Chain A
Amino acid sequence: MNTEDTRHYTTILISLVVAMILRLLEWPATLSMLNPDWVLLVLMYWCLTQSDRYGVGLAWLTGLLADAATGRLLGQHALIYALIAYGCVRLHTHLRVFPLLQQLAYVLFFLLCSQLIMFFIEILQGKPPLSWTYWLPALTGTLAWPAVLSICRAIQWRNPAHY
């Protein structure tokens, strides 16, 4: 492993850890309802920009950790993240050249998909029906996407070969 690789790995690791902390941070009740899944957003960024290196595997591992951190059924986030990562890797050539608005539409679609799968898994576990506020994080996540984009771009290593 050369130094550049190490730098890549640490960048990705730090970005995911920060995202996980943001996800777990305790906000006042109304804000925590809106708190988007930062981990998924950051994962999507790496899967779109570094799709030749990172994809389903990284998403799966991160998902397992997210499950443990948030006390979900083990594999729940892992499945969702892996599926979304697959979608991102498949569509990265399109998504990268899309204008921001169109990109946002796709992000919203991905986030809604993740919420929907989560919804089904929770229902299958016999959880009581969730209120409509359950779907809000998909919206706020879409709104947060430009911020994630610019921050990740800023911390990303300078390499003309990528993005």
Chain B
Amino acid sequence: MTVDHYHHMSWLHKSLSVSVYPIQWLAAAPVQLSHTLANNFRGRDVLLQENEHLRKELARLKQRTLKYEALLKENDRLRAFLDNSFKLGEQMLVAELVSVNLAPYEHRVLINKGSHFGVHVGQPVLSVDGIVGQVVRVSPTNAEILLITDPSHAIPVQVNRNGLRAIAVGNGRLDQLEVPNLPNNADIQTGDLLVTSGLGGVFPQGYPVATVTEVKTQAGSRFALITAKPSAALDRIREVLITWSQESARPFLPLQASPASGAEQTVPASPRPDSDEH
């Protein structure tokens, strides 16, 4: 039982994981098939509608990207002044969920990318809407993700509105997070967006985690009862993005590629592997 704790035995675990992969694949096949069928037999008007919708969305996002580029440059210059020339998580890999039921009392999911693709334990996993979880186990073909709603998971967050730091803890429901240990008079209200604070070193800073749905003050207690709804639709996601933030964190400056940024001054000579994110 304690085999897991010895590093030299991990090959056994790895080979076992690989040998059960066909069974996992078979177990996931019905769901996969139903998705494929649903995609194939979709009406023309539905597709046209979706196309239209996506085109609008693309236009909107492109327009936002224009602004983003400018803001990125500005942020870049400001960070150079602060001697905090570090950037996290830009490299991403798309992985698909393997629909298998690991343990009903835990929020763990399996994805179809493993150490063959360089996935490693502790990597943050996002969806297009927000943080999904982190990688907790890797085999050559698969990786296991612990969702942020698992009762054993906690993620450092801050309120996007005012920067108030807190920790969001899973409570075992797929659509709910709890924010414990905030005093009754903390400046947090319904509708506040919680983003990752980057403390703790696992998750990159500034990604949406959840929206506060309820703030209840308790008469007998010093702490408020705060619940939030995860931004990512954890019960419906099919695809996730795995990011590289720690291992391959790259220095943000110097920017040889874009000479217009004017960042030649205050550039640290080398990247600092131990920034405040670690």
Contacts and interface: CB of A to CB of B under 8 A. Distances in A.
Interface in A20-59: 20-21, 23-27, 29, 32-33, 35
Interface in B1-35: 1-4, 9, 12-13, 16-17, 19-20, 23-24, 26-28, 30-31
A25 B16 contact: no
A25 B101 contact: yes
Nearest to B152: A128
Contacts of B104: 29, 32-33, 35, 133, 137
A69 B103 contact: no
Contacts of A131: 105, 172
Nearest to B18: A68
Contact of A70 (B103, B174, B235): B103
B1 A73 contact: yes
Given A26-B101, A134-B105, A68 B16 contact: yes
Interface residues of B, number: 35
A122 B4 CA distance: 14
Looking at chain A's contact residues, the main secondary structure is: helix
A95 B12 CA distance: 36
A64 B106 CA distance: 20
A25 B30 contact: yes
B101 A74 contact: no
A67 B16 contact: yes
Interface in A50-108: 64-65, 67-76, 79
Interface of B: 1-4, 9, 12-13, 16-17, 19-20, 23-24, 26-28, 30-31, 99-106, 108, 110, 137, 144, 151-152, 172, 174, 235
28 contacts: A17-B23, A20-B20, A20-B27, A21-B23, A24-B24, A24-B27, A24-B100, A24-B101, A24-B102, A26-B100, A26-B101, A29-B174, A35-B104, A64-B16, A65-B16, A68-B13, A68-B20, A69-B24, A70-B102, A71-B103, A71-B137, A73-B4, A74-B1, A74-B9, A75-B3, A127-B152, A128-B151, A137-B104
